[in-house]
Amino acid sequence: MRKHLLPLVCISIAVFLFVPGSLANWQNTGGDLQHSGYSESLPVPLELLWKFKAGNTDISAPIVNDGAVFVGSDDKNIYAIDENTGELKWSYPTLGKVYTPTAKDGMVFAASFDNNIYALDNNGNLKWKYNAGSSAASPPISYNNILYGGSDKNIYAIYIINGSLKWKYPTGGWVESTPAISQGIIYAGSTDDYIYALNAENKILKWKYKTEGSVSSSPSVINGVTYAGSNDNNIYAIESDGTLKWKKKTNDWVKSSPAVSGTSVYIGSNDNTFYSMKVDNGDILWQFKTNGRVDLPAIVTREIVYVGSKDGNVYALDKEKGSLVNKYTIGQGVIALALSDNILFATSRDGYVYAFGKTAPGTQPEVPVVPTDTTPPEIRINTVPLSVTSEELYISGSAQDPSGILAVTVNGIFAGTTNWNATLTLSEGMNVITIVAVDGAGNVKTERKTVTYTAEENSRQTPPERIPGFNLLYGVAGILTAFYIVISKRKRF
């Protein structure tokens, strides 16, 4: 068993990247690749900063990246709006209604009703477009230089570098939900009533789970468990092997996508109610009644849950109790929310993009004082085998430091604090597991373990060749996640 400390220079690079103002992008529906819907943002007052007219009655969810808010519109344009001022940066015309974009690494991707998927740079210049053969209602998501989404009855993967097709996987219905990605697996729902889990690299089906209604809810995948709603009125939690963990019935369709934070799942239903449930068994912790359908994803922060309803209100609810903290009445149905740089964004059926917050546009948060403590925390890792024949690996341990432990991440996913654990889904061959601990003074300690996974039926065969450096991405993700948590904590105080 070998232990590797990430070179100090990489730590320095991570600190440089994680500066206030560049941390809190909301690059796709659900905020991150797993669609956790969680942000470490401070509470955002529902005070209107600006609003921008972007269409008629059917504009997309807002996406935020590199200081710009991106929306697709029923007026056939893709818009880029300055997140601080609400001024138009640029617009790009298509020949059809534009669905929710995704943005990453200086690029913006959006599908249009004209059957094309467009790739633009941050200045609105066309890099390529891909003709999907039909309208692509599924907002795409970017991962590992591949764009994933749904078109017609297929889940697709497109190379970001040139827009060429990598693969397509057929389902029995329309793919309208945004895929989620975790541990190299892509998860998506279809109107054929199934939730699919595919290998993101080669589209091999890991499992599919049948509900009793179409699935337009975008899945959230946290700690190996997939959460999604269905038009059979149920909310589902599915284990990493595709078996049912639990399901909870509401009084109407569940088109909303879940948000997951700590021990709770937060999700709305077309029965006009927003629910907080236990991740373990689906028991209802609290519920909040609105006067309209709640069919959009919520955003969960450390203290507040932000919920939009078709009754035209944006609600701020206490995360633990579900009590109303504040609300803002737009007047028409809320379409979707996003949160970045302590600004909450909403799109509405009145065709406007709204920005809410307290900090004056353009001002930067106060830079926190750097602690003098430079001693990194201590990480203890319980025994990890060198090789396994099961693709699911449970890893646990502890961390300690006199200043306290703010966070431990495993392969970029929050795993706990003083006592931590995570369940990983391994890929065939060698897997690098990166554990990152951050103490109360902002010091970082990184440990890496290697585990070789060989499926039982292939245990006598040579493992497939792996892409060099692929698992290093997990190390970088862990560092970045840890520093994001540290900076957010400091901003709070």
- φ/ψ of residue 486, rounded to 5: -60, -50
Q: Counting beta carbons within 10 angstroms of the beta carbon of residue 442, is it exposed (0 to 12), middle (13 to 18) or buried (19 or more)? A: buried
Averaged pLDDT score across all residues of the chain: 83
Domain spans in the chain, listed from the N-terminal domain onward: 8-14+367-492, 25-356
CATH 2.40.110.10 at 25-356, yes or no: no
Q: Residue 360 has what pLDDT? A: 52
- Residue 304 buriedness (CB in 10 A; 0-12 / 13-18 / 19+): buried
Least confident of 225-234, 282-291, 301-310, 484-493: 484-493
Contact (CB, 8 A) for 177 and 218:
yes
pLDDT tens by residue, 183-207: 899 999 999 999 999 999 999 999 9
- Total-model pTM: 0.69
Residue 435 scores a pLDDT above 70: yes
36-69: pLDDT as tens digits: 989 888 889 999 999 999 988 889 889 998 889 9
Burial (Cβ within 10 Å: 0-12, 13-18, ≥19) of residue 307: buried
Angle at the Cα of 190 from the Cα atoms of 256 and 113, rounded to 5 degrees: 85
Residue 474 in contact with residue 433, Cβ under 8 Å? Answer: yes
Distances 45 to 22, 48, 232, 356, 358 between C-alpha atoms, Å: 21, 9, 36, 7, 6
User: What angle, 0 to 180 degrees and rounded to 10, lies between the N-to-C axes of helices 8-17 and 472-492?
Assistant: 50
Q: What angle do CA 351, 214, 223 make, to 5 degrees?
A: 90
The per-residue DSSP string of 337-349 comes to EEEETTEEEEEET
Q: Can you read off the two tokens belonging to residue 68?
A: 């710009």
- In this prediction, residues 281-293 reach a mean pLDDT of 94
Q: Cα 308 to the chain's mean position, in Å?
A: 18
Residue 66, Ramachandran bin (φ over 0: left; ψ between -120 and 50: alpha; else beta): left
pLDDT digit string, tens, across residues 121-170: 989 999 998 888 776 667 888 888 899 988 778 899 999 999 999 999 99
Characterize the bridge pairing of strands 205-210 and 194-199.
antiparallel
Residue 66: name the closest of 29, 41, 38, 103 by CA: 103
Say which CATH topology domain 8-14+367-492 has: Immunoglobulin-like (2.60.40)
How far is the CA of 129 from the CAs of 79, 81, 116, 119, 146, in angstroms?
A: 17, 22, 6, 6, 14
Q: How confident is the model at residue 468 (pLDDT cuts 50, 70, 90)?
A: very low
Tell me the C-alpha distance between 491 and 479, whole Å. 18
Q: How many CB atoms lie within 10 A of CB 210?
A: 10
